[in-house]
Structure 1
Amino acid sequence: MHDDRRLIEGRLRRTLQRLEDAVWSAPVPVDLGRWDAPGEPVPVAEGLAAPYAPARVGEPWGPPWGTTWWRVRAEVPEQHAGRPVDLRLDLGFDPLRTGFHVEGLVYRADGTPVKGLNPRNQWVRVSDAAAGEVVELFVESASNPLLLGGGGFDFRPSPLGDPETAGREPMYRVVRAELAVFEQEVWELQQDLEVLGQLAAELEESDARRWQVLRAVDRALDRLDTSDIAGTAARARAELEGVLSDPARASAHRISAVGHAHIDSAWLWPVRETVRKVARTCSNVLALMDEDPDLVYAMSSAQQFAWLKEHRPEVWKGVVERVREGRLVPVGGMWVESDTNMPGGEALARQLNHGKRFFLDELGIETREVWLPDSFGYTAALPQLIALSASQWFLTQKISWNTTNRFPHHSFRWEGLDGTRIFTHFPPADTYGSEVSGAEVAHAARNFSDKGDATRSLLPFGWGDGGGGPTREMLARAKRLRDLDGSPRVEVERPDAFFEQAEAEYPDAPVWVGELYLEMHRGTYTSQAKTKQGNRRSEHLLREAELWASTATVRTGAAYPAEALDRIWKVVLLLQFHDILPGSSIGWVHREAVADYEAVARELTTIIETAQAALAGEGDTEMVFNASPGARAGVAALGAGPRSADDAEVEVSPDGDGWVLSNGLVRTVVDARGLLTSVVDTATGREALAPGSVGNLLQLHPDTPVDFDAWDVDAYYRRTWTDLTEAESVTPVDGGVRVVRRFGDSTVTQVVTVPVGEARVDVDTEVDWREREKILKAGFDLDVTTDRSTAEVQFGHVHRPTHTNTSWDAAKFEICAHRWVHVGEPGYGAAVVNDSTYGHDVSRRDRDGGGTTTQVRLSLLRAPQSPDPVADLGVHRMRYAVVPGAGIADAIREGYRVNLPLRVVWGSGGVVEPLVSVDGGGVVVEAVKLADDGSGDVVVRLYESLGARSAATVRAGFELGGVEAVDLIERPLETAGVEPVEGGARLTLRPFQVVTLRLTRG
């Protein structure tokens, strides 16, 4: 039998190759014209009207990042008359690189889009044409360079990722340009045989069904005359009818197949190219929907819908029609498929606000799921935000990429920081771009972790990243697998239909508590430091701009810059896409991101200064504006007033070969090497640094990950390092000590200070970074014994182990934190805060004299070479600080302070009372803004920050007409623990609860 199987499988393989060549017949060449657009892409009308020059098959075309327009003309020959005729145009496609190089969009002469051209989709249906009919079509093609080498995701340093270094040599050649007859019956036979061959390959050798299928295939091949494939395909198909009609087994796994195309909003291409990728893919989808009424297509990212509306209104019109039919389904509810580790809490809330609002306003759709198949791990804050956005479900697939531990479930309830639980699904096919192959559906059934309790999984299918989305071949396979013996049942349906059924059949789904940490791609917390710094700065500038603009509107009647703030938020949200903010895109993307952040900073600074000037009034008194929580975490000091005299001055005095810095709250010693040898909280007199250790120790590690340069840091990097202890100079400066170090080709200049009135030691750092494949860390060895660290995340904090007891613990050797990391033992702790760093590691070390200490390190810079070979080269400025004797509330306060420095404005000297104040421990104001609906109501977002049950009173600093809790879209929301009182509201909050209040002005 083994020999029979080998012969049948070999015969099938050869026959499928012959069928591929026989699907089209009677080819005739077409007349080809060409116009190369100079520079960036041009409007469609300009491309259609361009002066086309004669072109021919085989000629080179396509410099990196170029656009070439093709004009195709042909007269339908007699032998094609009345038959299905396709234009076949191969622009140099590589089917193994779908979505990563050449693409095209076909237009009619009037500018109507027809469909995309992609490596697995190289045809355009012309019509059942009449003889002599003239066909004229136009193709806008993109010659995007191929940045993947070898097979799979093999990234190598390349100059092609930036037009400034990519050159202008053509990269592609036209391979085919012809009209040909589409042989429907041959194509159908091809689909039959592919499905049955893939099915047989997945069945056990001993399974009788396998042999039933193979024997039927063998008989069909006997009936096929390879010298007359078109004429004998029908009789070959007749031999397969029996095995294709045998129903699936009663216990067969059920797969909800959803058409999909995961399109990265930027990655190995710039944002401008994504705009075109979305148009091509949607054109394909709309054309396929015209052909096949069964297709359902799920599309995420409100930003991508907005691009269609703005740049391709003809495609947008078709999308709107199909959305109304329920066949094209907006999913996700977010502006983009963002990273969820690094965006701040308010930014994640705005991702959902802007995404959901777009779908509601433009399409009348209330999305119900958050759809993030490819982001690099998921914050524990997300379940609560999903619920607060009126969504119910969460989908990702990325956790299947874990390299150490297999996640134990595919359907489960995910419990977040505050206890909110969301039904969550990981597609067990381990892909978000399935071909609906026999191997994929069989793997989904075998791999499904919850079998026995649940029976359903979801399968997103379609070529992503510009590959064109679903194809007619995928739909053909799905039809044949709908109810087929030996296979899971495959039903093409909407994602909400899957979630409703899956949740209903699994009411006791297991619970996973806390973050979904991806055991991979840890380098994304650090790569492209300027992009990360731009994000952090933009988030805090937006906080200030909304706060002061709202206050100025309420206090002075100044116009609220709603349109500008809305537009700026959308820029920042786009840049939080999961290949931009993580630093894993080509250099072109990050160069544009830095420029966008600079523009955002300029505009927001103008908004802030304009509002503060209106509030300050005329005068020559220095006034201090404070946008951060006050002296303790429970008070929102969101107002301004005249500057007070300093309580104490900073003393800088020599100490042997070093220097002592003191401000009355903290005392630190900087030695002759420029290292901190002592950090003392003067209130307690306790030394924060471990015996014999130092603080602010810079360490340089080799950084050569196995697979993904910009994405990964691998655990072995920690075994090799160089301590940067030699200083070129250590000199006193005004209020601090300046330290200069040189290593390799790089220079670090640091100024260590103890700010007046603040109990922390600041390190302002400038790095002229010229290293390659290195990672730079800054460490503090703190005299604290603890088995866990505490790191700020969105709207709260999480605990992570400092030990490696289990493989789950050991895998978290690099972690993401926002403004602070805290380590503590009963009665004492310390925090490390920062203004632009996300990557950290925390570990236990032997202590001189016995016991253990805790080392906290910040990951300052990396130097990956792919996909951007010059990533991070240049000058970087950043600030971090150590806070001795800190509790969690102190860490929160100092984290805000280091990111929201006081602003000094000249004015009348009068007090600007806070627009909103909070009295109560642990409740922090995250945002103050005016309502999105233009009503003038004040919207306040608060959260419980300490992880404790808390009571607080929120008071409006203006005449209040009413108060109510609202969701993230600012609609009324029944919220327990919110009680209106005179002038505000009384809150009773659970740990880490987020509450949004709408305060109506009286």
Structure 2
Amino acid sequence: MFRFSEKQIEMMIQFADDIKEKIYTPKTPLNIEGYTTKEPLPFDRKTEGEKKTFKPGDKWGDVFDCCWFHITGDVPEDCKDKHTVLLIDFNGEACVFDNHGNPQRGLTNGSSSFCFSLGQPGKRVLQLSNDAKQTGKIDIWIDAGCNDLFGTLCKDGRIEQADIAVCRDDIRDLYYDYWTIRELMQVLDKDSARYARASRALYEAMVILHNFDEDEVKRARDLLSKELSRKSLDPCLKVSAVGHAHMDLAWLWPIRETFRKAARTFSTVLDLMGRYPEYIFGASQPQLYQWVKDEYPNLYSKIKEKVAEGRWELQGGMWVESDTNLPSGESLIRQFVYGKTFYREEFGLDVRNLWLPDVFGYSASLPQIMKTCGVDYFMTQKLSWNDTNKFPHHTFYWKGLDGTAVLSHMLPEETYNSNAGPQSIAKSEKNYAQKAVSDRCLMLFGIGDGGGGPGAEHLEKLKRLKNLSGLPPVKQEFSSDFFEHLNQDSANYPQWHGELYLEKHRGTYTSQAETKKYNRMLELRLRDLEFLATVAMQNGWDYPQERLDEIWKEVLLYQFHDILPGSSMKRVYDECLERYELLLQEVQQLTRDALKSLSENKNGRFDASSNDIAVFNTLSWKRSEWVQTKYGWLKAEVEPMGFRCFKKSEIIEESFPLKAERKLLENELIRLEFSEDGRLISAYDKQAGFETIHEGSKGNTLDVYTDNGDAWDILEDYQKLPSESFKLESSSASLSGPKAILEQTYSYGNSKLTQKIVLTHGSKRIDFNTEVDWHENSKMLRTKFPLNVFSHFATCDIQFGNLRRPTHTNTSWDKAMLEVCAHKFVDISQKDRGAAILNDCKYGYNLFGNVIDINLLRSTSFPGKEADQGKHSFTYSLLPHKGNLIQGGVAEAASELNSPLIINEDCPIPSASSNSLSFFDIESETAVLETVKKAQEGSEVVLRLYESAGGSSEAKLKSAFEIENAWLTNALEEEICELKSSSKMINLSFRPWEIKTIKLKLE
């Protein structure tokens, strides 16, 4: 059999580029004027910038500079009867606008930091408008940013090209014919007849083409058409393809640039839909649609038309493509509440999939959250990035913490930027782990991350690949149709239990510490506000629903998977930290307003009497804690989700049985001893009779490691490098009411650290209140606690429950968990005793053997420069306890650290008859009342509860208010069934880890 030599094959491959160069012939340059600015201006202010005249080769800006370009010219006479186009490349992103200020088409530079193996990112060909065809006059306005899709300055921001050109349509068609068969040949078995025929056709076409006149081009196309007409007769696998433009709402560019990325991307989609009738496109993230609605209403109206036509798919029920490790459970539910509500109200459609192609691991709580929010399907591809183990499935049932299962699909091509060519389809078929039991897989084609989406080249390829022999057939269709088909063979799919841990990007649990702190604070303070506002609403106050919705949506925006995890550029954090501070101030003021309203006793729910102090407990169990008021220390015992009023006469001024020395802190339950260097060498639990710190070890070590990773990744071998520690400079001990305090001052390099180690009368919790002025580069600050406890597992707090993780490296899966994410606590317990580390804003942990090692700060330089440089304050705590973590009250103690009692001295509430009241109470050993809020629609009250210990539970839900009606609902507050209730109580049953949402109509 005749075979082509390697040199011939290489010539055939390269010849596609020779054909491509013949498609467009520049005829005459365009005239370029520009109005440059540092920040973008709207269309009606387009000439306010500095006016300049440009030509190709001129520098027009630096990274993220902006310009409104005015492009003019005359179409040459010899072009008017030909297919004439404009070739425009500013070495930046751009969008063409019509005369009314509406986006028409996106343009992207050919030079880019995009991975060219996934396709060409450039979109530089602009079709002439009807007016230009008729008049021969070119007159267009283009809004441009001096950055590529990834926020990079390309070719020093110089204009590449601005020409009127002629397009040879026959050569363009020839190019895609040739390119398709060329790439098909590259994936075929070299001994197959299909390969022999395909390679022969390419060679003969190459031989024909010398002058590229019409006759040569026709003859070459006729040869290639024979190969393109060969069909796959009875395929075992079909590929569902949907156009896509994964768009990071911020990353290597600021949030403001995403508004313009959306205009460029979506206007390009609409333009291509007019030229390619089979083109199906989809986009996720209601926040993105909201921006387009606000900034480009005409474009938004056209999108709505395409959605109604069935050409444009709404994807993903979350408000944004959120991180799922770091946000609270309530935040994840609100992502769906606001996301799905937007789609329903704006488009009349219910989106039933979770669309997270680029998120850094997936919480074990997520399947139940999805299901209770009416989401049945899950799509990702990120686990293909694992650095140790290959995730074994592509189509599978993911079973979460409580056993809830969702049908999940990982893209077999392992990218959401498919170039839609034969190699993409062949890779999907080769990789697809479930091809023996499923006849369908999903492919997302287009340019993503920075937006852009599919280009004409993707759609030209797909025209030729519908049913081409040698490859699985490809059909453009909605992912929702794909999932419905996938669901038909559901009995044959494998299962995966627990979290979907990504073996990569573990640094994102710690990077950009202030962002994570503000997120935690706002989640918790919003929780307090909603509860107090709901109670105040029963007292006649106007619940601030509209403003709360706006605040929540902004908090959810910053939970986007490249913002909250810390993997964006510096400007993103400069801007969102400024907004966080303002949002927190507003939430705190609204909380004060709600408390003031309660003190006014508008409708006589409380007996009016004079009190000096009101203390509120926003958690769902009774608390007894020391609080400091302006009058002095007070032992506040407060009912669940309620308040207690106190008079100044109840202030305690006595001394307490505490010791505070430079090497010793002690109360009646715990004795702490410290070494000369300030480390904790003993934490003796006098009540349980055991030493918490492992013999011969030191706790709270304040270690500094070399950290040469970026914002995403901690280098796996960082522990093998020599570590250093903060050096103790001074220490002093003092007593303050019920608190024994050891204040220690440390230094390291250019940084200072001060800790107040606090032991409180009647408590085992040891608080390390920490302030750091951090000025290190490529360093990581951690502290560890070697515990005198034996267990093969640590228990980590996650959303709506907790998860056991290994403290050994028996398997490669165990070893890969070198850093894990936990929320408010991590606990290691044996049968009779244990200890936990609590925190108020940290998430990253290394767990090995009997050591809990918590990651405090990372100073990486990419993509956020000077990350975490500056001042930080945070608290972590050591909690020894008897029994396991449930018997030791670990989860309760962690929540109490994060949600302190609220002291209301300025406008104390009128007292009830007992001077104390619980508005809502859940009588249960393990059920937790997490959220109290007004219903999204109507005046009913919504309660969110969950079982917190992994066991079945009976509970009594009590209310201080008369209950007229009660319903069990889903998390979207849609009624499932009516519940039986007495006047103020409802009986509930929980399965392990179950989340329940209850709606009450109160009298």
Q: TM-score range by the shorter chain?
A: over 0.9
1:60 is paired with a residue whose SS is coil
Q: 1:792 aligns with which of 797, 800, 812?
A: 797
Q: 1:273 aligns with which of 254, 257, 262?
A: 257
Deviates more, 1:831-840 or 1:750-759: 750-759
| Alpha-carbon distance change, 821 to 678 in structure 1, aligned in 2, over 3 angstroms | same
Give runs of aligned pairs for residues 919-930 of structure 1, distance below 5 A.
Answer: 919-930=923-934
| Alpha-carbon distance change, 648 to 504 in structure 1, aligned in 2, over 3 angstroms | farther
| Alpha-carbon distance change, 622 to 49 in structure 1, aligned in 2, over 3 angstroms | closer
| Alpha-carbon distance change, 944 to 122 in structure 1, aligned in 2, over 3 angstroms | same
Q: Does 1:855 align with 2:851?
A: yes
Q: 1:113 aligns with which of 90, 103, 106?
A: 103
Q: Kindly, what percent of the aligned residue pairs are identical? A: 35
Determine the structure 1 residue equivalent to 2:878. 882
C-alpha distance in structure 1 between counterparts of 2:544 and 2:751, whole Å = 43
C-alpha distance in structure 2 between counterparts of 1:253 and 1:822, whole Å = 47
* 8 Å contact from structure 2 (residues 945, 995) kept in 1: yes
Determine the structure 2 residue equivalent to 1:95. none
C-alpha distance in structure 2 between counterparts of 1:484 and 1:3, whole Å = 23
Determine the structure 1 residue equivalent to 2:991. 990
Give runs of aligned pairs for residues 227-246 of structure 1, distance below 5 A.
Answer: 227-246=211-230
C-alpha distance in structure 2 between counterparts of 1:58 and 1:759, whole Å = 70
Q: Does 1:133 align with 2:124?
A: no
TM-score (norm 1): 0.92
Determine the structure 1 residue equivalent to 2:551. 568
Amino acid at match of 1:583: G
* 8 Å contact from structure 1 (residues 646, 756) kept in 2: no
Determine the structure 2 residue equivalent to 1:968. 971
| Alpha-carbon distance change, 305 to 131 in structure 1, aligned in 2, over 3 angstroms | closer
Measure how far apart 1:668 and its partner are.
2.4
C-alpha distance in structure 1 between counterparts of 2:2 and 2:796, whole Å = 58
Determine the structure 1 residue equivalent to 2:560. 577
Amino acid at match of 1:653: K
| Alpha-carbon distance change, 954 to 107 in structure 1, aligned in 2, over 3 angstroms | same
| Alpha-carbon distance change, 654 to 11 in structure 1, aligned in 2, over 3 angstroms | closer
| Alpha-carbon distance change, 577 to 536 in structure 1, aligned in 2, over 3 angstroms | same
Deviates more, 1:394-403 or 1:235-244: 235-244
Deviates more, 1:71-80 or 1:355-364: 71-80
Determine the structure 1 residue equivalent to 2:570. 587
Deviation digits for residues 714-763 of structure 1 (CA, Å, limit 9, x no counterpart): 22011234353741111113330001111111111000002344330000
Deviates more, 1:128-137 or 1:580-589: 128-137
Q: 2:828 aligns with which of 823, 830, 845?
A: 823
* Structure 1 gap ranges (5+): 93-101, 150-159, 161-168, 845-853
Determine the structure 1 residue equivalent to 2:718. 717
| Alpha-carbon distance change, 980 to 294 in structure 1, aligned in 2, over 3 angstroms | farther
Amino acid at match of 1:523: G
* 8 Å contact from structure 1 (residues 118, 467) kept in 2: no
Q: Does 1:122 align with 2:124?
A: yes
Determine the structure 2 residue equivalent to 1:558. 541
Deviation digits for residues 928-977 of structure 1 (CA, Å, limit 9, x no counterpart): 100111x21100101100111111111222121111111222111359xx
C-alpha distance in structure 2 between counterparts of 1:364 and 1:558, whole Å = 33
Deviation digits for residues 476-533 of structure 1 (CA, Å, limit 9, x no counterpart): 1112111111112111110011111112134221110000000000000001100111
Measure how far apart 1:797 and its partner are.
0.7
* Structure 2 gap ranges (5+): 110-121, 601-608, 625-637
C-alpha distance in structure 2 between counterparts of 1:181 and 1:858, whole Å = 63
Amino acid at match of 1:806: T
Q: 1:653 aligns with which of 639, 659, 675?
A: 659
2:143 is paired with a residue whose SS is strand
Q: Does 1:865 align with 2:861?
A: yes
Measure how far apart 1:630 and its partner are.
2.3
| Alpha-carbon distance change, 178 to 726 in structure 1, aligned in 2, over 3 angstroms | closer
| Alpha-carbon distance change, 916 to 229 in structure 1, aligned in 2, over 3 angstroms | farther
Amino acid at match of 1:58: G
C-alpha distance in structure 2 between counterparts of 1:772 and 1:990, whole Å = 48
Determine the structure 2 residue equivalent to 1:11. 11
1:179 is paired with a residue whose SS is strand
Determine the structure 1 residue equivalent to 2:481. 497
Determine the structure 2 residue equivalent to 1:56. 55
| Alpha-carbon distance change, 621 to 672 in structure 1, aligned in 2, over 3 angstroms | farther
Q: 1:424 aligns with which of 393, 404, 408?
A: 408
Deviation digits for residues 850-878 of structure 1 (CA, Å, limit 9, x no counterpart): xxxx1111100011111122011111100
Amino acid at match of 1:793: I
Determine the structure 2 residue equivalent to 1:750. 755
TM-score (norm 2): 0.92
* 8 Å contact from structure 1 (residues 278, 466) kept in 2: no
Q: Give the count of matched residue pairs.
A: 954
Determine the structure 2 residue equivalent to 1:673. 677
C-alpha distance in structure 1 between counterparts of 2:769 and 2:30, whole Å = 66
Deviates more, 1:258-267 or 1:749-758: 749-758
For the aligned residues, what is the CA RMSD?
Answer: 2.2
Q: 2:436 aligns with which of 446, 452, 465?
A: 452
| Alpha-carbon distance change, 766 to 341 in structure 1, aligned in 2, over 3 angstroms | same
Measure how far apart 1:252 and its partner are.
4.4
Amino acid at match of 1:540: L
| Alpha-carbon distance change, 249 to 718 in structure 1, aligned in 2, over 3 angstroms | farther
Amino acid at match of 2:643: A
C-alpha distance in structure 2 between counterparts of 1:615 and 1:666, whole Å = 40
1:965 is paired with a residue whose SS is strand
Measure how far apart 1:219 and its partner are.
2.1
Determine the structure 2 residue equivalent to 1:212. 197
Q: Does 1:222 align with 2:212?
A: no
C-alpha distance in structure 2 between counterparts of 1:590 and 1:302, whole Å = 22
Measure how far apart 1:893 and its partner are.
0.5
2:760 is paired with a residue whose SS is coil
C-alpha distance in structure 1 between counterparts of 2:74 and 2:615, whole Å = 77
| Alpha-carbon distance change, 648 to 361 in structure 1, aligned in 2, over 3 angstroms | farther
Determine the structure 2 residue equivalent to 1:952. 955
Q: 1:615 aligns with which of 582, 591, 598?
A: 598
Measure how far apart 1:323 and its partner are.
1.0
Measure how far apart 1:626 and its partner are.
1.4
Q: Does 1:522 align with 2:506?
A: yes
Deviates more, 1:292-301 or 1:715-724: 715-724
Determine the structure 2 residue equivalent to 1:699. 703
Measure how far apart 1:41 and its partner are.
0.9
C-alpha distance in structure 2 between counterparts of 1:178 and 1:651, whole Å = 86
Measure how far apart 1:234 and its partner are.
2.2
C-alpha distance in structure 1 between counterparts of 2:640 and 2:32, whole Å = 69
1:256 is paired with a residue whose SS is strand
Determine the structure 1 residue equivalent to 2:238. 254
* 8 Å contact from structure 2 (residues 97, 140) kept in 1: yes
Q: Does 1:337 align with 2:321?
A: yes
Q: Does 1:625 align with 2:616?
A: yes
* 8 Å contact from structure 1 (residues 979, 987) kept in 2: no
Measure how far apart 1:145 and its partner are.
6.9
C-alpha distance in structure 1 between counterparts of 2:893 and 2:704, whole Å = 27
Determine the structure 2 residue equivalent to 1:200. 185
Give runs of aligned pairs for residues 385-404 of structure 1, distance below 5 A.
Answer: 385-404=369-388
Q: 2:303 aligns with which of 319, 330, 333?
A: 319
| Alpha-carbon distance change, 130 to 698 in structure 1, aligned in 2, over 3 angstroms | closer
Give runs of aligned pairs for residues 178-189 of structure 1, distance below 5 A.
Answer: 178-189=163-174
Amino acid at match of 1:625: F
Amino acid at match of 1:309: K
2:618 is paired with a residue whose SS is coil
Give runs of aligned pairs for residues 931-946 of structure 1, distance below 5 A.
Answer: 931-933=935-937, 935-946=938-949
* 8 Å contact from structure 1 (residues 369, 393) kept in 2: yes
